Chains A and B, each alone.
Chain A
Amino acid sequence: MLQYLKKYRLYCLLAPLFMLGEIAMDMWQPAMMAIIVDKGVLGGNIDLIWEMGIWMLLLVIFGGTCGILCGVFASIAAQNFGNDVRKDLFSRIMNFSFQQTDQFTTGSLITRITNDVSRVEQMVMMSVRSVVRCTVMFFGGIYMLYLQSPRFALVAACGLPVIAAFVIFFLRKVSPLFTIIQQKLDQINCIVQENIAGARVVKAYVKEAQALALFSKANDQLCIVNLRAQTALAFLNPCVNIVLNICTVVVLYIGGITIQTDGNITPGQVMASITYLSMILMRIIFMANIFQTFTRSSASWKRIREVLETKPAQKSGTYVSEKGHQGEIEFRNVSFSYPDAPDNPVLKNVSFQIEPGQTVAVIGSTGSGKSSLVHLIPRFYDTTGGEVLVDGINVRDYPMEVLRDKIGIVQQKSELFSRSIEENITWGTPNADPEEIRRAARLAQAEDFIQNTPNGYQTHVTESGHSLSGGQKQRISIARAMLKRPEILILDDAASALDLKTEAALQASFNRELEGTTKLIVAQRVASVKNADKILVLDDGQLSARGTHEELLKTSPVYGEICRSQIKQEVNAS
């Protein structure tokens, strides 16, 4: 953390320095007032009163300026610190392998880069401002009080531990309650979310009353815990105040007695002492607040550091090829398992070869390893055994950019960005000319619906494409991959939301326009794979059969079963 702050050390030093100025002025005031009362009023010296008044006014202006400057430097330091951390975090995440993003989970990475960074930023801000302010006022107050009278300082010394005990006691009591409150809140949100999302089912089964009863119960629980926490907190202020008030009364009493007996204390000093006393005792509460912020932010900083200290898992290769467009793929004894389940291989000893320009389909039931298989080609994941070769070279030997430039992959779940449709299509090829973009859209069977949107290619896609249907999103993703003119085009179940007519047209356009491109199509429907040059049948991570549709119908029982379940009556009907 210091390493990030080093750049801004000047600001980090200036801020507390000016803060000291502000505090010094604050501390001086009661002492000067004591002089006004004791020497000016009681001594009958008007000139002294005005002189002191003007001095105090100057102090106020000086102190205020110091305070503002402290804020300026503190925010410059904290914001720039946050900025640097944020940039480093993002840059680090952009170098992660998918395995690493999976491990951290997307949601957690997002919170780290947003909430955690601002929390740490706040902590830095607080450190250079409040911590210094608090400590100095605390000890300065004690010192000033001691100057007025050591006895008063003793009163403060008695009050301090009591207040501290109260604060600690209540915070201990309340903090766990807030965790429970959060859980109850989550529970309520969950119920609401489910009932809104499942409104049709709730209504269809006439379950409104039951849902309300369930909600009321959760709601009551939340209210009870909330009430407990707030009631506990309601005790904190009065408890602290009662100590503070008792101390005040004691100071007054001691002051009175002292003046009565030996008289080496003046009324002005008693007044100033009361001001200092509250100054000291109030700090305890501020310190508790600071402490809480610190605990929370140090957890945040830990989460940030986890990301910063994670080294990119995949090494980029250095192989430079002179050969141009090819598109040959080979799997040699490839095995693969996800790191969280090393004993449960997703792919077992898979070998096959695809010639440039071929159309190859991969079929199999859910969980058979189809997606994992194609993810190995652009190195979304690395094999755990065997090797994947593209154009005869192991994918690990290519520089990552070179490898991924060769491949256009369209994923099962379309990922769209909240930009215009055109920018979504040109995502990988920002400099494409309009004619090219149109061609890609046409090939992806997307042109018709794009032209029917209000602003055509300039229509803005809302957040993650909510404004588009599943099929439309898939077609935009396909156009994006087509625009790249890749050597290898991979469709990972990417046409599942298209109706069959559109899918057929899409395949026709592939065959017509992408003759030189190797096409690898993962699909669930037999109709989508029937006309491929070669079909790979995956069953439980193993390549159980390969061949054309006709061959497989004869040889592969797994393929036969898949076909039968989909086309069972075709034979009967015809």
Chain B
Amino acid sequence: MRNGLRVQLRRPSTMGQAIEKPKNTRGTLNKLLRHFVQSKGLLLGLMAAVFLETLTSLISPSLQGQVIDSIKDRSWQWFQILLICLLISFSLNVLFTLSQGILAARLSQNIVGRMRCDLFEKLNHLPIPYLDRHSNGDLMSRMTNDIENISSTISQSLGSLISGGLTVLGTIAIMFWYCWQLTLITLITVILTAIITQWMSKKMRSAYRNRADALGALNGHAEEMITNYRSVAAYNCQERTREEFNTLSDQLTKEGIRAEILGGSMGPIMNGISNLGFVIVAAFGGYFALKGLITIGVISAFIIYAKQFSRPLNELAQLYGSVQTAMAGAERVFALIDQPDEDKNGTEILESMKGEISFRHVNFSYESGKPVLSDFNLEVKAGQKIALVGATGSGKTTIVNLLMRFYPIDSGGIYIDGKNIMNLNRDWLRHNTAIVLQDTVLFSDTIAANIKYANPNARDEEMEQAAVMSNCAPFIRRLKRGYQTVLKQAGASLSHGQRQLLNIARAILANPKILILDEATSSVDSRTEQSIQDALVKLMKNRTSLIIAHRLSTIQDADIIVVMDQGHIVETGNHSELLKKQGAYYTLYMAQFAGEQT
């Protein structure tokens, strides 16, 4: 009997998933092939193993048939020799199956491991505008789902694909060699299989898609209602929500039954066709044997061969779906890998940065036709503390995006120490600036590693000094493992204020010439804010600082306050000058401290 079983532990069935089609199959295939070629040795080994495995599995039934014949003919010598040959053939087959499995595993891990690394490297070098335009979830799913699909397809399907094709061809060839008449009759089942598979899979695809849609709708509803349960309960909407859920659930059940019946029929139908092959071989084989065209042994061999080619046909039909899904995934992965890197132009490195910043006639827009900054000019001397204030959408954060070369400007120029930043080495520019953002960013690592993030070679004393300066030393000391505490889920166990203090400690240890604080304290309560403020004052000493703020209390001691409105500077000056002017700043200030009196 043919080694006709495949244990699938990980993915019980790909049938339940909606099948996706790649758009540019040939291009994707070419790129995939390039990845395969990189593991040439393994690929060749795998091919050889598959070939030999198929060969032995083709020989075995024929040997078995001859054994039966020798039993019938009572030629015992021959019987024993044949039996030993059969045993050898079986053993070789097992050996090649094993090497095929091992090689396929290696190949898939090699290719997928490399792809994952390539993808991650690309993610790291993608320009910020690209990241801003694409949802994190979408990028994540390429790393997880898509790569996973490719991986399992290579490891589980590649061998089956090759051996399946070889088996079908080889089997048919051998069968023809034995008895072409019986072969032609048997091939009826192949044609039947092909027709029915195609017809069924078309029906199934639409049924599965409908079910996937229904399931998506139901899951979406459940997720939303459970996540927003407070609003459901507070507004007494449980009954309505339940009715909605029941309707969706009934819908899913209807689609589910339809899909399952269709999918479940596939097995019995294929089984029926395979049995039909059995009947054909038995009846017609018997007839031919009686006529003396073939021997009984040939019937025995034919039964195995007929099974042998119907099985890979079934498999190929099923694989078609998962290969398509994997190809669609590969296409998405390659689309991302083919994205251009963030621009790295500029080579100039100054001996040391003083920290003078100037924006000269800068024009910028995120979407063409909607200017965010127009003819923006700003001069900052080294060591000055500059505050940018203004309503949301006035372009404050944009300044940071441009200065850090996250986004390219449309025209004009930004200069640091008199040099256009586009001519400066990008990494050098960033090394000399540090940012603290409103949304804190921490990594799942120890607190020490997070503080040392910018400067991994810093000594522990330096790190602790930074922690003291940023006022986070007291709460770190209270943690059981102190600086060695491992943060989980971006520091979810810490309060927002504590996370922000860690971000500041990191900036201190980076020891930058230019410091940018983008709404660093806006989502922190006022008492925590006080300690952050204190930390910031120390941090800003001897550095050029750009502060973007929403709360005016944070910026009153800035050297220059720049009030922005719709991409223009409306006013500049220090706190008391601007208050005296009674202009835009005054209005903002009064609104903030006087409540509704405006």
Chain B residues whose C-beta falls within 8 Å of the C-beta of A386 in the assembled complex: none
Residue of chain B at shortest CB distance from A83: B253
Which residues in window 361-417 of A have CB below 8 A to B? 365-367, 378, 380, 400-401, 404-405, 407, 409, 411, 415-417
Chain B residues whose C-beta falls within 8 Å of the C-beta of A496 in the assembled complex: 523
Does A550 lie at the interface of the complex (its beta carbon under 8 Å from any beta carbon of B)?
no
Q: In the assembly, what is the distance between CA of A405 and CA of B236, in Å? A: 7
Q: In the assembly, what is the distance between CA of A317 and CA of B491, in Å? A: 42
Does the CB pair B231–A415 fall under 8 Å?
yes
- The residue that B441 contacts in the complex, of A191, A201, A366, with Cβ under 8 A, is A201
Does A278 lie at the interface of the complex (its beta carbon under 8 Å from any beta carbon of B)?
yes
Does the CB pair B296–A267 fall under 8 Å?
yes
Does A240 lie at the interface of the complex (its beta carbon under 8 Å from any beta carbon of B)?
yes
Chain A residues whose C-beta falls within 8 Å of the C-beta of B112 in the assembled complex: 223
Contact string against A for B residues 65-81, beta-carbon threshold 8 Å, 1 for contact and 0 otherwise: 00110111010100100
Does the CB pair B553–A499 fall under 8 Å?
no
Does the CB pair A196–B83 fall under 8 Å?
no
Most chain A beta-carbon neighbours within 10 Å: one of B128, B131, B135, B265: B265
Chain B residues whose C-beta falls within 8 Å of the C-beta of A306 in the assembled complex: none
Does the CB pair A198–B1 fall under 8 Å?
no
Chain B residues whose C-beta falls within 8 Å of the C-beta of A404 in the assembled complex: 233-236
Does A469 lie at the interface of the complex (its beta carbon under 8 Å from any beta carbon of B)?
yes
Does A453 lie at the interface of the complex (its beta carbon under 8 Å from any beta carbon of B)?
no
Does the CB pair A241–B124 fall under 8 Å?
no
The distance from the CB of B114 to the nearest CB of chain A, in whole angstroms, is 9
Does the CB pair A68–B596 fall under 8 Å?
no
Does the CB pair A256–B245 fall under 8 Å?
no
Chain A residues whose C-beta falls within 8 Å of the C-beta of B404 in the assembled complex: 200, 203-204
> Which secondary structure dominates where chain A touches chain B?
helix
Does the CB pair B261–A71 fall under 8 Å?
yes
Does the CB pair B279–A56 fall under 8 Å?
yes
Which residues in window 169-215 of A have CB below 8 A to B? 171, 174, 178, 185, 188-208, 210-212, 215
Does A135 lie at the interface of the complex (its beta carbon under 8 Å from any beta carbon of B)?
no
Chain B residues whose C-beta falls within 8 Å of the C-beta of A253 in the assembled complex: 83
Does B453 lie at the interface of the complex (its beta carbon under 8 Å from any beta carbon of A)?
yes
Given known contacts A46-B287, A237-B5, A285-B5, is B595 in contact with A53 (CB within 8 Å)? no
The distance from the CB of B247 to the nearest CB of chain A, in whole angstroms, is 10
Does the CB pair A464–B527 fall under 8 Å?
no
Does A131 lie at the interface of the complex (its beta carbon under 8 Å from any beta carbon of B)?
no
What count of chain B residues pass the 8 Å CB interface test? Answer: 162
Does B222 lie at the interface of the complex (its beta carbon under 8 Å from any beta carbon of A)?
yes
Does the CB pair A226–B282 fall under 8 Å?
no
The distance from the CB of B497 to the nearest CB of chain A, in whole angstroms, is 7
Chain B residues whose C-beta falls within 8 Å of the C-beta of A86 in the assembled complex: 218, 249
Chain B residues whose C-beta falls within 8 Å of the C-beta of A150 in the assembled complex: none
- The residue that A189 contacts in the complex, of B143, B286, B593, with Cβ under 8 A, is B143
Q: In the assembly, what is the distance between CA of A201 and CA of B272, in Å? A: 62
Does B437 lie at the interface of the complex (its beta carbon under 8 Å from any beta carbon of A)?
yes
Chain B residues whose C-beta falls within 8 Å of the C-beta of A57 in the assembled complex: 276, 279
Which of B25-33, B175-183, B362-370, B427-435 lies at the binding interface? B427-435
Give the number of A-B contacts (CB < 8 Å). Answer: 476
Does A270 lie at the interface of the complex (its beta carbon under 8 Å from any beta carbon of B)?
yes
Q: In the assembly, what is the distance between CA of A480 and CA of B591, in Å? A: 26
Q: In the assembly, what is the distance between CA of A95 and CA of B94, in Å? A: 58
Residue of chain B at shortest CB distance from A293: B12
Does the CB pair B234–A197 fall under 8 Å?
no
Which of B95-103, B316-324, B326-334, B374-382 lies at the binding interface? B95-103
- The residue that A87 contacts in the complex, of B9, B245, B261, B550, with Cβ under 8 A, is B245
Chain A residues whose C-beta falls within 8 Å of the C-beta of B392 in the assembled complex: 469, 471, 499
Does B525 lie at the interface of the complex (its beta carbon under 8 Å from any beta carbon of A)?
yes
Does A103 lie at the interface of the complex (its beta carbon under 8 Å from any beta carbon of B)?
no
Does B346 lie at the interface of the complex (its beta carbon under 8 Å from any beta carbon of A)?
no
Q: In the assembly, what is the distance between CA of A188 and CA of B119, in Å? A: 12
Chain B residues whose C-beta falls within 8 Å of the C-beta of A195 in the assembled complex: 120, 123-124
The distance from the CB of A266 to the nearest CB of chain B, in whole angstroms, is 9
**Could you list 27 examples of A-B contacts with CB < 8 Å?**
A36-B286, A37-B282, A41-B290, A46-B290, A60-B279, A67-B268, A71-B261, A79-B253, A79-B260, A82-B253, A110-B223, A110-B226, A114-B219, A189-B140, A203-B406, A212-B120, A230-B109, A236-B7, A237-B5, A252-B71, A411-B231, A415-B231, A464-B224, A501-B598, A527-B595, A570-B593, A573-B579
Told that A189-B140, A418-B224, A573-B579 touch, could you supply 12 new A-B pairs with CB distance under 8 A? A40-B290, A72-B264, A205-B506, A206-B427, A223-B109, A227-B109, A230-B101, A270-B68, A366-B525, A401-B236, A417-B228, A525-B526
Those 7 A-B pairs whose CB atoms lie nearest each other, nearest first: A67-B268, A234-B101, A53-B283, A71-B264, A428-B235, A64-B272, A75-B260
